[in-house]
Amino acid sequence: MDNYCTLFDSNYLIKGLTMYRSLVATDIDLHLYILAIDKKCANILRKLQLSNATIIDMNEFETLQLRKIKKERNNAEYCWTCTPFIIGYVLEHYSINEVTYLDADLYFFSKPSILLNEFHESMADVLLVEHRYEKKFNNLKLKAFGKFCVQFMTFKNNKNGTYILKWWQERCIEWCFAHLEKGKFGDQRYLDNWETLFDGVYSLKNIGGGVALWNINQYICELGPMINKTKIIFYHFHHFKWKSKNSYCIGGKVCSTAVKYIYNPYFNEMKNSFFLVKKVDKTFKKNFEIDKDMLFDYLWKRMERTIDKVWLSKTLFNIIRSHKKIFLWGAGQHGTEFHFWLLKYGIKIDGYIDSNQNRMGKTLYNIKIYSNDILTDKNIFIIVTPDNYYDSIYNQLKFNGYIKCKDYMHLQTLKRKIITQYSKELMSKIFIK
């Protein structure tokens, strides 16, 4: 029997359940250990009575060390931190020979045992799967997110396998955040040099394992589904959003064949998973993942392709350069990405603000990270980049006398103002003609 483990919360429940159902549809001789991040998720999973799954509660999994770390990291960062620990927990508590970690947003089209057979033939102790980025952005993505993806990883329960796992656990306790820092990103960049750092590490050769938005366009996709005549074993639905009752957002561009044979079947199975959950919990509601912010993101991307770069630079300057200093609230992934976007249009920032004590006083791309004590300086303009914890940030700004749009602005609000101004500019030109 093949053993797997994963983790997700109630927000990811539908994706996690869809992954489980696809897994057992390919092979009934397997077992999935699921770490339920919140009680709601655990209760629903138990009501579903999944015959090939064991549900693990957080109170039986979490150690004192993890509980301490939890206070310093956001939800995504904490889940990444827990990844090597749920692997170790399963190996230790269930006395199995090996376990394969799975991301909750995977979907299996064929037996994963095909990939495990390749791994077993290698006689290695740890299995990794490369991103296999498209060549056009290979170097950029490698520098940001690493060579390997924490999506499908196998560890043997032997001396070398557990040694490597223990090393990874220690690194994730030391640092696991959603931004780039000194060659690190989350739990993932630690994998980059495992092939040279340790013995017994094997990189999967079968391209059917780990197909995703970041690599599918380099292949010929056809019925099966297949890529380059190779069966897709699993697809990683990163960026996939269920945006309304009968529609979804891919998060990028793929060919129509991929939509037909990969995305449409996955979406149908997600809806089936939702109905299964509703049967056991009538109070469960699907909060569709599209909202006004997502719509504006779509409009923003469309606008950027055609907009006059000089006009955008001037508009940005007029909106946020009426102050002497510009600060970004959030030194995570959203903050750093927006920092580089501003630089592209000639706007430099003067600092980051972050609530994470581990980041305070440090520098990120030569820009200092401050605590919220900097709010006493009223000569700054703040762009709030995180979507999470916005209420908490808003209350801090309000308490310190900051006025919305005058002294601070959420990133999405800034985008909306630019889109609105661009639309007016466009309409005025049409009417003048």
Distances in Å between the alpha carbon of 396 and those of 71, 354, 388?
19, 12, 14
Sheet with 408-410, strands from edge to edge, namely: 363-364, 367-370, 351-353, 325-329, 380-384, 408-410
3-state secondary structure of 346: coil
Per-residue pLDDT tens digits for 305-340: 666 777 777 777 777 765 578 999 988 877 888 888
pLDDT at position 42 is 97
pLDDT, one tens digit per residue, over 66-107 is 999 998 888 899 999 999 999 999 999 998 999 999 999 999
CATH of domain 2-280: 3.90.550.10
Alpha helices in 215-332, H assignment, sequence order? 256-258, 264-280, 292-306, 309-320
Q: Is the pLDDT of residue 184 over 70?
A: yes
Residue 428 confidence (pLDDT): 60
Q: How many angstroms separate the CA atoms of 212 and 335, rounded?
A: 25
Mean pLDDT of the chain: 88
Give the three-state DSSP class for 289.
coil
**Residue 334 has what pLDDT?**
77
CB 34 within 8 A of CB 45: yes
Tell me the C-alpha distance between 75 and 249, whole Å: 23
Query: What integer is the mean pLDDT of 400-418?
Result: 82
Local structure of residue 110 (DSSP, 8 states): S
Tell me phi and psi for residue 153, to 5 degrees: -130, 130
Tell me the pLDDT band of 389, cut-offs 50, 70 and 90. low
CB atoms within 10 A of CB 65: 11
Predicted confidence band of residue 433 (pLDDT cuts 50, 70, 90): very low
In angstroms, the CA 250 to CA 286 distance is 18
| Nearest C-alpha neighbor of 176 from the set 161, 190, 191 | 190
Half-sphere exposure of 408 (CA within 13 A, CB side): 25
Class of domain 292-432: alpha beta
Domain boundaries, the chain: 2-280, 292-432
What phi and psi values does residue 404 have, to the nearest 5 degrees?
-60, 135
203-207, 227-231, 276-280, 366-370: which range is least confident on average? 366-370
pLDDT of residue 432: 46
pTM for the model stands at 0.73
